[in-house]
């Protein structure tokens, strides 16, 4: 089991931030990543649709022989995690719990804001996870539906993105939140813009590091952590792998080699 890869999936490019953190935290592990670029974004889709996509991807990863699956997508974690855990034959880790835990540990005034896709916000998954750990917390949610397409189109540094972000963040600033959860794996790409608008007094919680630490602890406790050799990255996209590879170069420092095309249900 030690020698098997870890499977990671996201609706598109954003999960590469998780992949990068996993690769740095678990450098000896082989990692298989699936970016569902044919169906991005997940955030505007129904629970039934997101669950169907997630199960299709999980079955593919299981067929690849992975020893665990990391759901790098916040929307899929919010809407499909319970069903994935029911139907998968390997352990499944989601991104919500580590992010909520880190936010509760980070806040000083008890005011936490969540930025996420429309589906993640509707699910209230982060709110429930935060209140479970800190019932007295004050939480505000803000859907940011344009952030994912802006990142996918490599518009992170465009003036239009700053203008849109300013509009989304206005309620957060009025709320005086001192901790903001980046509740989508695409959002860390926008960190420079978000940090400049929110100010240095606001802590941005990116769950990539906390999730990778949780994965390491999980494997260590099961005595399934690979500790020798150099792990390799294998990346699949469900549409236009050439474009996926080009845009992935903006998110990953390490060269990823060939991006393989794998259509769902094909």
Domain range list for the chain: 6-94+209-261, 96-206
CATH topology for the 96-206 domain:
Rossmann fold (3.40.50)
pLDDT digits (tens, 9 = 90+) for 205-231: 987 888 999 999 999 999 999 999 999
- CATH number for the segment(s) 6-94+209-261: 3.40.50.1860
C-alpha closest to that of 172 among 130, 201, 210, 150: 201
Helix (H, G, I), strand (E, B) or coil at 24: helix
Among the listed residues 73, 88, 134, 144, the single catalytic one is 73
Compute the distance between CA of residue 75 and CA of residue 162 in angstroms, rounded to an integer: 23
184 is catalytic: yes
73 is catalytic: yes
Compute the distance between CA of residue 116 and CA of residue 95 in angstroms, rounded to an integer: 12
Per-residue pLDDT of the chain (266 residues; tens, 9 = 90+): 889 999 999 999 989 989 999 999 999 999 999 999 999 999 999 999 999 999 999 999 999 999 999 999 999 999 999 999 999 999 999 999 999 999 999 999 999 999 999 999 999 999 999 999 999 999 999 999 999 999 988 899 999 999 999 999 999 999 999 999 999 988 988 999 999 999 999 999 987 888 999 999 999 999 999 999 999 999 999 999 999 998 888 777 677 889 999 998 75
Confirm whether pTM is higher than 0.95. no
Average pLDDT over the chain reads: 94
Q: Fold identical between 6-94+209-261 and 96-206?
A: yes
pLDDT at residue 153, rounded to an integer: 87
Compute the distance between CA of residue 92 and CA of residue 56 in angstroms, rounded to an integer: 14
Among the listed residues 88, 134, 144, 184, the single catalytic one is 184
pLDDT digits (tens, 9 = 90+) for 28-40: 999 999 999 999 9
């Amino acid at each position: 089991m030690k020698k098997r890869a870890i499977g990671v999936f996201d609706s598109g490019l954003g999960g590469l931030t998780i992949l990068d953190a996993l690769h740095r935290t678990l450098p000896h592990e082989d990692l298989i990543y699936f970016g569902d670029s044919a169906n991005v974004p997940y955030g505007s889709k129904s629970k039934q649709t997101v669950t169907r996509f997630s199960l299709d991807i999980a079955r593919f990863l299981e067929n690849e022989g992975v020893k665990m699956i990391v759901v790098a997508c916040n929307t899929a974690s919010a809407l499909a995690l319970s069903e994935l855990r029911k139907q998968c034959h390997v352990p499944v880790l989601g991104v919500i719990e580590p992010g909520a835990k880190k936010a509760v540990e980070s806040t000083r005034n008890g005011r936490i804001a969540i930025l996420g896709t429309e589906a993640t916000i509707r699910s209230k998954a982060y709110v429930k996870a935060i209140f479970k750990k800190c019932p007295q917390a004050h939480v505000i949610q803000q859907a940011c539906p344009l952030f994912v397409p802006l990142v996918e189109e490599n518009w992170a540094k465009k003036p239009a993105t700053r203008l849109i972000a300013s509009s989304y963040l206005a309620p957060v600033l009025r709320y005086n939140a001192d901790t903001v959860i980046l509740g989508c794996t695409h959002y860390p790409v926008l960190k420079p813009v978000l940090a400049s608008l929110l100010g240095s007094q606001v802590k941005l919680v990116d769950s990539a590091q906390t999730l990778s630490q949780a994965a390491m602890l999980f494997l260590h406790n099961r005595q399934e952590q690979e500790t020798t050799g150099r792990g390799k990255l294998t990346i699949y996209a469900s549409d236009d792998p050439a474009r996926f590879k080009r845009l992935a170069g903006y998110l990953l420092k390490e060269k990823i080699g060939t991006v393989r095309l794998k259509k769902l249900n094909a």
